[in-house]
Structures are given as structure tokens and as C-alpha cells.
Amino acid sequence: MKRIIKRLSTTQIILAGFLMIILIGSVLLSLPLSSANGKAVPYVDALFTSTTATCVTGLVTLPTVSAWSTFGQAVILILIQIGGLGVITVAAGIMMILGKRIGIDNRILIQDSFNLNSMSGMVKFIKKVLIGTFTVEAIGALLYMTVFVPDFGLKGIWISVFTSVSAFCNAGIDIISENSLCDYALNPVVNITTSFLIITGGLGFVVWWDISGILTNKNRRRFRFLTLHSKIVLLVTAVLIFGGATLFFVFEYNNPLTIGNCSLAEKIEVSLFQSVTTRTAGFATVAQENLTNASSVLSLLLMFIGGSPAGTAGGIKTVTFLVIFVTALSAVRNKKTVDLFNRQISEKAIKKAVAVFVTSFTVMFVSTLLLCTVSDGAFLDILYETVSATATVGLTRNFTSTLGLLGKLIIILTMYFGRVGPISLAVAFNSKKGSENIIANPVEEISVG
């Protein structure tokens, strides 16, 4: 077995790791013990649920609150935690707990999976990731308990823990009700706590430590001392959240099916949460099928962009989006280099951004085409579903429950490739130096545009 693993590339190990966890989860969820009524659910639904939990997506064919027993919900929660942290991180954490030494091969896996530039301090980094994750999730659970324990009694403790882990991992799966968080759309504690967890998980662990380093250094408490990566993440995150909230507010202002009948403060609250949750979190405080067409298109864009690298969120990532945008802007201006914050973006980073974008777009396009073939749903509903699956968001226009067998299989594959695709590309770019031709091919101009 060890020989086989050594023959596999880092990319193949990560792909196989996610697949193995999904299959194990599907077997556990297909047991009668996992079902709320004691009868085994169809295997395709168990596989779908295991995939959506491991890939921290949130699309479900069966309502989590009523279809699964406490055991089944616990399996789903473990899958969410593994999927959010990453298979490699969880495996390294288990090795550390058991007192096992993390060898060079495992250090390379960790470096590649987090897209780090160095292997120094790897064990310390994993410890910080695990401690930071569990600390934030514990804080979230305690805040949720102030609402859910009064509403659900002692069961509220389990609901609070489940929701906190799901929110931090940007999974969007909950055990509160079948309409997600719609019953708590105007509850400030639930809204603020959920948004805090989503944003914290979506920023990425690397940004955490960068901000922490700035805050603890009295002489360097300035934005300009952050790394370029952190500057991009924070800038794009702020623009997307507040820009998205402003546009949702405008687009939905007079929509009686969403916020049309709310007060001004309530409209701002719901709009802000919608902007946050579309960034691959998947919780809903308004029914997505009731959004205006303009808001739906805006949601598609925000979902596709997603969160930030080395975090729990999906999508093409904020850094990828800005690098592609600035590269296009530089080309229009006929600039020789691509610059951000007085720093030049490397050619390797630009190529990686283009590769991630093209891969994610291809997965989304093929998935949409296939789902249109096997389903007779409205095009906007189908596109919303496939973008949500590709970017591992979990928001749906009430379409997931209508999927047939082929439709479920298409979304399963879409969620899987949507989750592992960008990770695999990042690993591939880090692991392979690229071959250099001894004799370069001749250059010939072509017409573009």
C-alpha cells in the first residue's frame, strides 16, 4: 500500500483522499442507523449527501433536519469538518495527536495543499490551523446557543455546534429547518454570527496569521505591511461583500417576496447576509427562487468568485478573480507587466489564475449542458444549480429536490470536480517546475479578439 501511495503524485493523493472520504461517508449514510425512520435511504442520496458534505457544498436531495438520525447528522458533520479543513490537514492532525512524526513526504503534501512557499514551520502551521479552527467554531457555537437553546431546549446545543462548524467550513448545511435560516432572517445574533463564521473561514488561514502578526506588532499596525496576498484578499472581500449588499438592496428593495415589506434596517440586514452567503456559504434567509432576475445574476457572479485561497470556501477565489481582471486591464492599457499595490504579479501566478478560471468555467459549462439535456427545468434554475455546485456554494432555486437519477449523478460529479479541481491545479503548479525546450519554437503572430 505504501509503495502505491509513493508512486502517486500529490494531486492524485488529494483526489483519491477526497474520493475515499466520500465513499466511506456514503456507505455510513446508507445504513438504516443513519436514517431518521430506521429505513435505509437510496444509495444515490447517501452518495449525494456524502459528496455535498465532504465538498462543503450544501445542496441536498433530502432535508438534513428530518431525513437523518443523530448518527447520520454526526457523520455529515464529520464529513463537513474534514472537507473544510482538507483531507491532508486532518490526516496530519491525527498523526500529531497519535505522536507520529510528520515526514518529508507529508510535509510536501501539506505545503502543496495550502499553496505555501516554504516547508519550514509546517507542524506549527498545522497546529495553528487546527487550534484556530476549533476556537472560532467554539465561539460560534456559544453565540448560537443564546438563540437556539431557548428555542429548542437541550437539542439547541447540538444544533449550535452543527451550524457553527457548517458555517465556518462554508458548507451551508443545517439541522434547524427545511428552509435553511429563513425563520431567522431578521435575527441579528444568527445573522452576525453566521456572517462572522463564513467570512473568517473564507479569508484563508494564511491571511489569519498575517493579520495577527500585524496586530501584535506595535510598530507595524498598518495595511501596507501586509503581504500582497492578504491585501488582495481583504480588498476584494470587502468590495464584493459591501458592493454585493448594495446591489441586492437596490434590486430587491420593492420585491414583496424578499425584502419589499421590511423596514430599512431589516432590508440592509438581509441584503448584507445575502451578499455574504453567496460567497460559497449556502445558507439562505430568503428563498432564492423569489429573487429578481438582476439579483439572481449577481448571485451567480458572487458564487462563481467565491472565497479566498487556503481557506474553507470554494469558487475560483478572490485572488484569481483580481489577477485575471488586472491582467485584462493591463492588456487594454498595453502595459508590459501586471502590477498590484506597487508589486509585479509573476507570470506563473497569472497562468495559474487563467488555468483555475478556465477549469472551473469548463466544469460549470459542461455540467449545465448535461443537466439541460436530462432535465426540463427553467434555464436560470439549472444554471443556478450548476454554478452553486461548481463553486461549492449550496444555494438553490428549489431545484435540487427535483433532480432525477442522472441529474443527481451530474451534480455529484460537478461538486467533486468543483472542489478538487482548483486545489489540484494549485498543487500541480507548485509541484512541477515545467519543462524547458532546449530549442525554442519559432514565434508567429496571430489575430486575437
pLDDT per residue as tens digits for the range 170-201: 998 999 988 889 999 999 999 999 999 999 99
Arithmetic mean of pLDDT over the chain: 86
pLDDT per residue as tens digits for the range 225-262: 788 888 999 999 999 999 999 999 999 999 999 999 99
Query: Taking 80 as the threshold, does the pLDDT of residue 99 lie above it?
Result: no
Which triple of cell numbers denotes residue 299?
448571485
Burial 58-94 (b: 16+ CB within 10 A, else e): bbbbbebbebbbeebbebbbbbbbbbbbbbbbbbbbe
On the CB side of 413, CA atoms within 13 Å amount to 13
pLDDT of residue 422: 65
Using 50, 70 and 90 to split pLDDT, how confident is the model at 213?
confident
Using 50, 70 and 90 to split pLDDT, how confident is the model at 110?
low
**Distance from C-alpha of 100 to C-alpha of 209, rounded to nearest angstrom:** 25
CB atoms within 10 A of CB 107: 17
Judged by average pLDDT, the poorest of 111-120, 150-159, 382-391 is 111-120
406-410 long-range Cβ contacts below 8 angstroms, 24+ apart? 406/374, 407/371, 407/374, 407/375, 408/44, 408/45, 408/48, 408/61, 409/44, 410/367, 410/370, 410/371, 410/374
**Distance from C-alpha of 355 to C-alpha of 349, rounded to nearest angstrom:** 10
pLDDT of residue 106: 60
Looking at the chain, the whole-number percentage of residues with pLDDT higher than 70 is 83
Stronger pLDDT, 117 or 307, i.e. the higher one: 307
Q: Burial, 150: exposed, middle or buried (Cβ in 10 Å; 0-12, 13-18, 19+)?
A: exposed
pLDDT per residue as tens digits for the range 151-176: 999 999 999 999 999 999 999 899 99
Using 50, 70 and 90 to split pLDDT, how confident is the model at 364?
very high
Judged by average pLDDT, the poorest of 169-178, 216-225, 274-283 is 216-225
pLDDT of residue 282: 86
H helix runs in 98-121, sequence order:
104-113
Classify the C-alpha dihedral 37-38-42-43 as positive or negative.
positive
Judged by average pLDDT, the poorest of 111-115, 233-237, 313-317 is 111-115
pTM for the model: 0.88
Q: What is the mean pLDDT of residues 252-276?
A: 94
Provide Rg for the chain, Cα atoms: 22
Q: What is the mean pLDDT of residues 108-132?
A: 68
